[in-house]
Structure 1
Amino acid sequence: MEGSKVKEDWKVGSTSETMETTMDYSNYYIYELPSPCSKGGVRDFGKLFLPPLYSLVFLFGLLGNLMVVLVLLKYKRLKSMTDVYLFNLAISDLLFVFSLPFWIYYVADQWVFGTAFCKIVSYMYLVGFYSGIFFIMLMSVDRYLAIVHAIFALRARTLTYGVITSLAIWSVAILASLPALLFSTSYTENNNTYCKENYPGNSTTWKVLSSLEINILGLLIPLGIMLFCYTMIIKTLHRCKNDKKNKAVKMIFVVMIVFLVFWIPYNIVLFLEILVELEVLQDCTFGMQLDYALQATETLAFIHCCLNPVIYFFLGEKFRKYIKQLFKTCRGPFRLCRHCSFLQVYVSETPSSSHTQSTMDHEIHDAL
């Protein structure tokens, strides 16, 4: 897997193996150290703190994104490009979340699910990881078209184009995640069973390339596109006289700040891991601190999948209205299936079709 399981050092490497001898440690992490550099403390820390944290991420990520899917299917009916992107983002987060129970057990004990599940879960995790980032990027482009090119957006932001671009995003995510499916394997060493990539040939080169892939595809490209889109959106909103402008700008900053806060630390640590793999950094104390940092920043990145429903839905007036309507219809989790008619058509506001300021108002309200 790439990254956090995307970067196997966190799951089984330097953060999950207790190096009892200089030779064991040097074979995996740093070569020719003058004294043993035990990573037992890092592993114990992970066993103690990561399972409860990941369990909370799993619980809130599952409930939040299922709520998003429910609202979209019951009320929105996937009738626009934005609806399609939001739905796919929720599916991406759910795919990511469904892999967490396996990693929870893994960090608490060891891998007991065999090689086949090692490949499947690693692949599922990484596809969810990439597709989630890509759909956040795609939603930024959707907002850019809706606000900066409002008239053109009436033709471009269609359900058909939404489906086509979504399929393209899933294709890229599936292809980018193939190394996890091909190279992930389960093996036993020092009475512990691990699940990680077993690269052919020069494993250091593969590890470096994997980390670079995460940094480039998972941060640099999406971040560059998002910065461009939101910069143009802010410029456009400042030029137009619109009562919703301040609220829209605040929402934009929330999206950007949350993305930066939750993902940049993780990618910085991954970059430092590259330097360790290339033996540019060979300090034992720094290596251990980096392992702790990788655990912390990866957990922070995991939390982002729980926040997507909040960012893209719960801050919106329409979604709050849908949620209230949903709970009026479904007055308890045990009566959900009996009372919720998924074939019920929810009558929403009819969007304006004029190419005037009212079009801009509508686009800002829906897109943000």
Structure 2
Amino acid sequence: MELTTSDYEFNTTEDIFDDELCDLDPSPSEVITQTYVHSIICALGLIGNTLVIITYLFYKRTKTMTDVYLYNVAVADLIFVVALPFIIYNEQHNWLMGPVACKMLSSAYSINLYSGMLLLACISGDRYIAIVQARRSFGTRSHTLIYSRLICAAVWVFAVALTLPTLIHTEHSEEQNLGSETATVTCQLSFSKNETAKLMKVLVPSLQMAIGFLLPLVVMVFCYSSIMCTLLRAQSSQRHKAVRVVLAIVVVFIMCHLPYNMTLLKHTVSLFKERSCESEKIKLQVLAISRGVAYLHCCLNPILYAFIGVKFRGHFRQIIVDLWCFSKKYIYSARSSRGTSDICISGFKSADGSNNMSSFSA
């Protein structure tokens, strides 16, 4: 059984193989490798995106459209990295958490894919307006914070709508193994009619590639190429650093998502063709590897979009200081240390902008 639930896996139509029997289950070594890789992705993604959310909630406040988008990207990525260990556990233990968990966990990646990618496109569009169309947008961007929240709400509604087929048709089923008293429990998309299954076999991955990859890619390439041209014309000592950041964002996006989408496209095209068992095994292995690389993007988003900024790094350092003060206070609560309370000054900002002690060091 594969370690990750994929939107293109179905159990209604018959797969066409030139071999009569074909075991497509991954080997134990592949299962172990995927478990370790996904665990690392989960840990890094959890730390990075949690720090982004904490920073916006207690330190930085969302003042611009990009801030609102970044906060929502972190929430989308966090939803997925929290769901990932439960997916791994359930698929290794015959989905012990039951049918509800099967549906919810299967939908987590789809929601993250659509919302996260569309929000990254929104960020590139906002930066395009702020830099390339700076003169036209001057004096108006300070009044558009409400619009960014409405756009984010629309993105989430759209992502949930696109995820509905996965949520509705994912089934928790039990299949008795031939010649054995044991049963295999699966969690995958299932349909009562072959015609519906054939349609969804093409529609679901096509939507993933079109809206989850191609549309954001086109928007990002257009916006960031225009931004780079504007920065190169500008007389600024920081322009080369800004250009490198822009290049890093686009290159990392392509490197993470292009291999998976190309493999998924090839897999979709060959669904209704006769294919050998060995080639199908290789293709599924490539899909698993490229999917892991795509998952890695949720760990890189905080670095590329948040921590690369000087102010954000300052807030991050302040979080570490507050956590250190918090631990010292409760570990050494029996001791009275005036020095500690004088040194540990939090970076938490109150609503009126004053510097107060945060909940970490209160």
Fold-level match, TM-score > 0.5?
Answer: yes
Deviation of 1:298 after TM superposition, in Å, equals 0.6
- Partner in structure 1 of residue 237 of structure 2: 243
Determine the structure 2 residue equivalent to 1:176. Answer: 162
Partner of 2:47: 63
Q: Flag the 1:333–1:258 CA change in 2: closer, same or farther, 3 A.
A: farther
State how far apart, in whole Å, the 2-side matches of 1:328 and 1:126 are.
36
Matches within 5 A, 1:322-333: 322-331=315-324
Matched, 1:309 2:302: yes
Cα offset, 1:125, TM superposition: 2.8
Sort the Cα spacing of 1:294 and 1:106 in 2 relative to 1 into closer, same or farther, 3 A: farther
Offset, 1:343: 5.3
Distance (Å, rounded) in 2 between the aligned partners of 1:91 and 1:66? 8
Tell me which residue corresponds to 1:320.
Answer: 313
**Are residues 8 and 46 of structure 1, via their aligned partners in 2, closer, same or farther at CA, if it must alter by over 3 Å?**
farther
Q: Tell me by how many angstroms 1:151 deviates.
A: 2.7
TM-score between the two structures when normalised by the length of structure 2: 0.83
Which string of whole-angstrom CA distances, capped at 9 and with x for unpartnered residues, describes residues 34-74 of structure 1?
A: 4433324x243442211121111111111110000111122
Task: Deviation per CA, 1:108-148: give whole Å up to 9, x if none.
Answer: 33222211121122223321221111111111111111110
Aligned partner of 1:106 in structure 2 is 90
Gaps of 5+ in 2: 178-182, 334-343, 355-362
CA distance in 2, matches of 1:235, 1:248: 11
- Aligned mate of 1:288, from 272, 276, 281: 281
Following the alignment from structure 1 to structure 2, what is the Cα–Cα distance between the partners of residues 107 and 43? 14
Identity of aligned residues (%): 31
**1:7 corresponds to 2:7:** yes
- For residues 336 and 78 of structure 1, what CA distance do their matches in structure 2 show? 30
Q: CA deviation at 1:303?
A: 1.0
1:211 and 1:274 in contact (8 A); partners too: yes
Q: TM-score, normalised by structure 1?
A: 0.82
- The residue type equivalent to 1:232 in the other structure is S
Looking at structure 1, the residues matched to 326 and 283 of structure 2 have their Cα atoms a distance apart, in angstroms, of 43
2:315 and 2:98 map into 1 onto residues whose CA distance is 43
Q: CA deviation at 1:29?
A: 2.6
Preserved contact between residue 144 and residue 232 of structure 1 (Cα < 8 Å): yes
Partners of 2:165 and 2:325 lie apart in 1 by: 44
For structure 1, the residue ranges without an aligned partner over 5 or more in a row are 14-25, 349-368
The alpha-carbon distance between structure 1 residues 54 and 275, as it changes in their structure 2 partners (threshold 3 A), is same
1:73 aligns with 2:65: no
1:148 aligns with 2:142: no
Q: What is residue 191 of structure 2 aligned with on the other side? A: 199
- Which runs of structure 2 are paired with 1:155-170 in the superposition (5 Å)? 155-156=140-141, 158-170=144-156
Give secondary structure in 2 for the equivalent of 1:39.
coil
Q: Does 1:216 align with 2:210?
A: yes
Aligned-residue CA RMSD (Å): 2.5
**Rounded Cα–Cα distance in structure 1 between residues aligned with 2:235 and 2:21:** 66
Partner of residue 262 from structure 1, selected from 224, 232, 256: 256
2:225 match: 231
